[in-house]
């Protein structure tokens, strides 16, 4: 049958149906496919889904849809109220996720692998990622002072980066408490002024500021915290100073090498021209004297 022949096209082409219900696949056969596929997934029998697809000439999508329908029915028929043990186990799983992420510094994939190894539920990377995002959304980005009195704090501020996106962070170096952490598009002086103002509006007043010598931080200090003493942090100060010294030394060494090479080049050309005007005996004597001076210089240096 040619599809260009409109008179011979089947009815479902005009009605817009995507699938036709095959009459030879009865409800009993559908139930058999669903139960067999469900048991195969529960018992990790690899290849059985493919065998069912070939045996009944159906797609794998059809089999998975039948399995999902069976699961929804089973959850209704055999539904039970969650026991205290299950709720305790669920809390333990969630605490494992947080512990591995925050204390173990594990990646999401590593957390998933460890949970699978110990037979813990909810071990998929998708669930772990969504749970961590949910926990993060519950936490405020700024530490709130719930006491009536105002706290005088030392602000230690810096930027960290997540895929080239700056994250502005201010911590208390005494207690290591994170006063504020926020994702920002830029790290200009205006961003830092708004960042510090938000911290002070929540009951933490800066009496001292420690940061690197970045243009955004230093400009933000002069604009927003000009009455607060500022100190560059030791790590960046030493690293920057040493970097400047190393750069200066390298430039001087390169300059000396260039001058030395030019002097040697001129001397070689001078010796070559001078030797052309000497007699063979004078030339031999001249070269012997040069070798003797070189030999004495080497021995004196040793």
- Whether the per-residue pLDDT at 271 is higher than 70: the answer is no
CB count within 10 Å of CB 120 equals 16
Tokens 């400009």: give the residue: 219
Confidence at residue 155, expressed as pLDDT on a 0 to 100 scale: 93
The predicted model scores a pTM of 0.45
- Whether the per-residue pLDDT at 1 is higher than 50: the answer is no
pLDDT tens readout for residues 5-23: 545 545 544 444 455 677 7
Average pLDDT over residues 116-135: 86
Q: E strands along the chain, which residues?
A: 151-162, 165-171, 178-183, 204-211, 229-232
Fold annotation for 151-232: Nucleotidyltransferase; domain 5 (3.30.420)
Q: What is the mean pLDDT of the chain?
A: 79
In angstroms, what CA-CA distances link 62 with 20, 34, 227? 12, 9, 71
Confidence at residue 83, expressed as pLDDT on a 0 to 100 scale: 46
- Phi, psi (rounded to 5 degrees) for 46: -70, 140
pLDDT tens readout for residues 179-190: 999 988 899 999
Confidence at residue 199, expressed as pLDDT on a 0 to 100 scale: 92
pLDDT tens readout for residues 240-255: 777 777 778 888 888 8
Confidence at residue 300, expressed as pLDDT on a 0 to 100 scale: 59
- Phi, psi (rounded to 5 degrees) for 100: -65, -35
pLDDT band, residue 47 (cuts 50/70/90): confident
């Amino acid at each position: 049958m040619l599809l260009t022949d409109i008179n011979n096209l089947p009815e479902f082409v005009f009605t817009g149906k995507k699938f036709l219900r095959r009459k030879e696949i009865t409800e009993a056969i559908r139930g058999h496919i669903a139960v067999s596929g469900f048991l195969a997934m529960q018992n990790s029998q690899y290849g059985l889904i493919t065998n069912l697809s070939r045996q009944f000439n159906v797609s794998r999508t059809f089999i998975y849809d039948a399995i999902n329908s069976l699961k929804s029915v089973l959850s209704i028929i055999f539904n039970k109220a969650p026991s205290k043990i299950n709720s305790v186990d669920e809390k333990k799983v969630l605490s494992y996720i947080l512990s591995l992420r925050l204390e173990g510094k594990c990646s999401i994939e590593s957390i998933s692998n460890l949970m699978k190894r110990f037979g813990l539920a909810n071990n998929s990377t998708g669930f772990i990622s969504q749970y961590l995002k949910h926990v993060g959304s519950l936490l405020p980005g700024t530490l709130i002072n719930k006491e009536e009195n105002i706290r005088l704090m030392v602000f230690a501020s810096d930027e960290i980066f997540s895929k080239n996106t700056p994250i502005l962070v201010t911590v208390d170096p005494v207690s290591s408490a994170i006063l504020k952490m926020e994702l920002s598009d830029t790290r200009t002086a205006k961003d830092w002024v708004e960042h510090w103002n938000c911290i002070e509006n929540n009951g933490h007043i800066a009496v001292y500021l420690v940061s690197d010598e970045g243009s955004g931080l230093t400009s933000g200090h002069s604009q927003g915290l000009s009455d607060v003493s500022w100190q560059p942090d030791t790590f960046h100060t030493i690293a920057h100073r040493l970097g400047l010294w190393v750069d200066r030394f390298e430039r001087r060494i390169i300059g000396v090498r260039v001058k030395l090479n030019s002097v040697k080049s001129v001397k070689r050309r001078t010796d070559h021209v001078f030797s052309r005007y000497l007699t063979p005996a004078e030339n031999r004597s001249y070269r012997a004297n040069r070798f003797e001076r070189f030999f004495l210089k080497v021995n004196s240096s040793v």
